[in-house]
Chains A and B, each alone.
Chain A
């Protein structure tokens, strides 16, 4: 592939600029600001386009925007695979909007190309980055101002390892690892994945908790249902009882109202009876008044009668006293007789007493004169025993003691005397002593009676004298009382007439008894009326009626109600129990209801967790997939790196050394890259290699340039020789090495088109190159 010419319509400061290139070594000379770099960039941008990225001068498209706002663009003629092409590009705002036309000059055809398509890839066979790393070599490194060579060394290492001076294998790995580690840290404890996993675990735990709570709540709900069913049953029972109660109440109401009606009728009947002759109704006050007046009348009559009785009694007593004088004398005589009789009795008693005392004295004396006699029986027995003992003891000595016993018994018979029997005498004495004592008592009593009788005689004599004067006084008093009672009796008769007249307005009465009977009847009627009224009131009391008329009206309206077999108390009790049970069930239902509400209040349902869980799992799955993909990328990258290192090895080094030797005029014979990507060179006379950091800037640049050229050959192995675009790459070289470099390029241009830009006039004087002056 070679570039035949470029035709710049407008590009930065360049306008209507045409340059024709030879197939060999093209040396383009121009002073600073002549547009050398513009031309190099133009070639690159024509083939690869450029994005609109970056700000200010970093934005290539803006950087080369024509100064006069002309349409940026131009054309390039080139030969590829022996066919001539012309590439036209008008640069627009972005790469995708560029107008790109490719003319096949041999065929005379053309095609519109998408601005986004990198035609460079089609014709150079390499990507933009590879283009920039190989055939497009500028002096940016040379002019970077770095003195230690570290940056250059890094670029060389990158070139060797990745064939891209800006691409570090370590950096690529780090780029991927950092993304991976943002998800899961090295120690697996930090990062988005552990965080999300922890959130998921927490969510699952919360969901499990929620599920458990709702399961427990469900059990309670079932219990609640059972309670509600029971409550409903109880309520139905209550309704049944209530219906019975209603029937009962209806029945009872009718009964009560019927009773009320009967009581009212009874009242009416009684009230009809309780009327005076002039039809005036009798009330309790009227009756009470009459009763009080009659009672007072009766009391007065009783007092008058009592007084009359007293007067009669006094009269009788006075009469009795008057006729009682002779009797007093007879009584006194009787008392004297009595006294004499008692004296006679006393005399007899004293006489009998004397006789008994004498007899007693006699008996006592008689008893004292009688003495005792010896006990002959003992004496006889004692004598017999003595004789027998003596006789038999002659033969049988052991019986001799009987003689002693006989003697003792005989002595005892003589000593112990026997007295005669005085029991009859003693008895008589005792009887006499009792009789004497009784007579003594009788004697004392008679004496007392005699004394009393004498006292009575004396008292009577005194009393008789006093009674005579009193009698006269009482007679006068009795006369006065009689006069008073006559007056009272007249007043009484008036009262009686009035009261009887009043009562007779109800019932005719003739005496107190009939008046009392009438009042009694009146009282009974009033009492009956009162009872009937109470009965009526009691009957109407719980009916809710507010008037008799209402009660009677309701009674008339009530249908016939069958009698209820249960009694009210049973029904009430059953209803009360049901009410209590319902209240208790209600209480339990409310409590359970509240308990369930409290359990689930604010608790998210498992379904809510599921949505969040699904979202998090999706995220986790995406992260896991990314990690797996990153791992694949890393693993493949590692394989690619091994392949790269294996396939290049000393081959790249050898080619770089050959170029390096040419550039340095054979000053160096060795060119190595260490495992640590250190560049080292060895001179002909050197025994050891020199690390890049010990080399001059110029030598480092030559090594870099050599490696870039070697690399471009490797990168473009399959594409055939490509034009090499070099922008003042010898600026750091001394005169000898510049000369050597130019010689090398002359040789190199035999196979590759070389487009070399420089601002150094002296380079144009070496010859061997097709000079183009700007």
Chain B
């Protein structure tokens, strides 16, 4: 009967990392990341998963408050029936100051060495391969120096690195050739914060789970871990969301509304409709779009203030355009008409990649006819 093993693959939790918002939220988010860590172990328990793979960047850096690492150790110790494998990443390299080298580690925690490593697990029909970051930068290798053994035992590699072509890159570039030649059954990768669902090259499956707890609006949407069952011929997996909160960038068309109250109401009703019950717990970047009547000034700060009591975190950006009929306006014998006509000509003549720029210039000009223009960076 073919060997199969259930595993949980995660990476890039960045415990102790600051997030780009208010200090209070940043502190709370750091603590929430701890809850997410505990949730990951809870899931492993509930789903009876014997093998947990942490592909680096567990910590934001080796100097973060020890409580984060101690919490991790507690989780590992409390789950002594499970094997936890950790490969250090560029944020928490296995350097002298690494807590992984300065704490007494539980027996069920395997920390991969800085050199290419092969470890035969005692309790599972699995061999672990991989290596840890030895510094904040580490160059990739064209191939893994230890060939995978060809037997019934499952070969799983845990690695923190950047999929790419340039081996000179500083983040342990993992090339497709590396994956193809590895002979692994599964490569648990870390580094990319966006999930890359399992793919297969040659006989090897590989995946990035992405960060389980997002850190900014460049990490929007659901974040979670990969739960998989790997055999010699097949991988079954699911992506399980675990993040306490998500970052969402939402465009709201506010055409026809002209007051802060109305816009805030519209935004809230839209968020409720889109995200349902838990809508208030998310972190939002609201981009206001649509056409606004001339003379109506969108005060993003005011809208933010109105939304804040109802939402955990929100920032608002104004991308609206003045409500005008450009086809009518361009024929007007007025300064505005001529301006619009000239701008439309420029938009028409512009390269496709520049059209947006000219449209924005038109927008700025039109707004300037009736009100002060400001660069919106709320």
Given A162, A214, A601, A612, which contacts B336 in the complex, CB threshold below 8 Å? A162
Binds A, one of B182-190, B238-246, B291-299: B291-299
Contact A636 B369 (CB under 8 A): no
User: Do most interface residues of chain B lie in helix, strand or loop, or is the interface mixed?
Assistant: loop
Q: Which B42-77 residues have a C-beta within 8 angstroms of A?
A: 60-63
Q: Which B265-324 residues have a C-beta within 8 angstroms of A?
A: 291, 293-296, 323-324
- Chain B interface, number of residues (Cβ within 8 angstroms): 65
Contact A127 B97 (CB under 8 A): no
* B172-212 interface bits toward A, Cβ cutoff 8 Å, 1 = contact, 0 = none: 00000000000000000000000000000000000000000
Contact A167 B377 (CB under 8 A): no
Please, which residues of chain A bring their CB within 8 A of the CB of B360?
Answer: 625-626, 629
A selection of 6 A-B contacts at a CB cut-off of 8 Å is A125-B328, A163-B332, A601-B63, A623-B375, A633-B361, A636-B343
A126 within 8 A of B: yes
Please, which residues of chain B bring their CB within 8 A of the CB of A182?
Answer: 374-375
- Chain A interface, number of residues (Cβ within 8 angstroms): 83
Please, which residues of chain A bring their CB within 8 A of the CB of B136?
Answer: 210-211, 214, 605-607
Given B62, B137, B258, which contacts A52 in the complex, CB threshold below 8 Å? B258
A8 within 8 A of B: no
Alpha-carbon gap, A714 to B332, bound state (A): 8
Contact A224 B96 (CB under 8 A): yes
A559 within 8 A of B: no
Knowing A164-B335, A214-B136, A218-B134, the reply to whether A619 touches B377 (Cβ < 8 A) is yes
Contact A632 B329 (CB under 8 A): no
Contact B332 A126 (CB under 8 A): yes
A615 within 8 A of B: yes
Alpha-carbon gap, A633 to B335, bound state (A): 13
Contact A53 B295 (CB under 8 A): yes
Please, which residues of chain B bring their CB within 8 A of the CB of A362?
Answer: none
- Shortest Cβ distance from B104 into chain A, in angstroms? 16
- Shortest Cβ distance from A625 into chain B, in angstroms? 7
* B340-378 interface bits toward A, Cβ cutoff 8 Å, 1 = contact, 0 = none: 011100100000000001101110110111111111010
Given A116, A179, A614, A647, which contacts B373 in the complex, CB threshold below 8 Å? A179
Contact B259 A52 (CB under 8 A): yes
Contact A717 B333 (CB under 8 A): yes
Binds B, one of A169-177, A440-448, A545-553, A686-694: A169-177
Contact B62 A600 (CB under 8 A): yes
Contact B293 A608 (CB under 8 A): no
B90 within 8 A of A: yes
Alpha-carbon gap, A192 to B376, bound state (A): 12
Contact B365 A644 (CB under 8 A): no
User: B367: nearest residue on chain A (CB-CB)?
Assistant: A175
B123 within 8 A of A: no
A100 within 8 A of B: no
Contact B257 A96 (CB under 8 A): yes
Residues of A participating in the B interface, judged by any CB pair closer than 8 Å: 51-53, 94-97, 115-116, 118, 121-122, 125-130, 133, 161-164, 167, 169, 172-173, 175-176, 178-179, 182-183, 192, 210-211, 214-215, 217-218, 220-221, 224, 592-593, 596-597, 600-608, 611-612, 614-615, 619, 622-623, 625-626, 628-630, 632-633, 636-637, 639-641, 643-644, 647-648, 714-715, 717-718
Contact B96 A644 (CB under 8 A): no
Contact A606 B375 (CB under 8 A): no
Please, which residues of chain B bring their CB within 8 A of the CB of A122?
Answer: 328
Contact A95 B216 (CB under 8 A): no
Please, which residues of chain B bring their CB within 8 A of the CB of A639?
Answer: 342
Task: In the A-B complex, list the 6 residue pairs whose CB atoms are closest, starting with the nearest.
Answer: A96-B256, A163-B334, A162-B335, A632-B361, A596-B96, A633-B365
Please, which residues of chain B bring their CB within 8 A of the CB of A717?
Answer: 333
Contact A176 B377 (CB under 8 A): no
Please, which residues of chain B bring their CB within 8 A of the CB of A218?
Answer: 95, 134-135, 137
B25 within 8 A of A: no
B338 within 8 A of A: yes
Alpha-carbon gap, A51 to B171, bound state (A): 55
Interface centre among B256, B333, B343, B372 (most CB of A within 10 A): B333
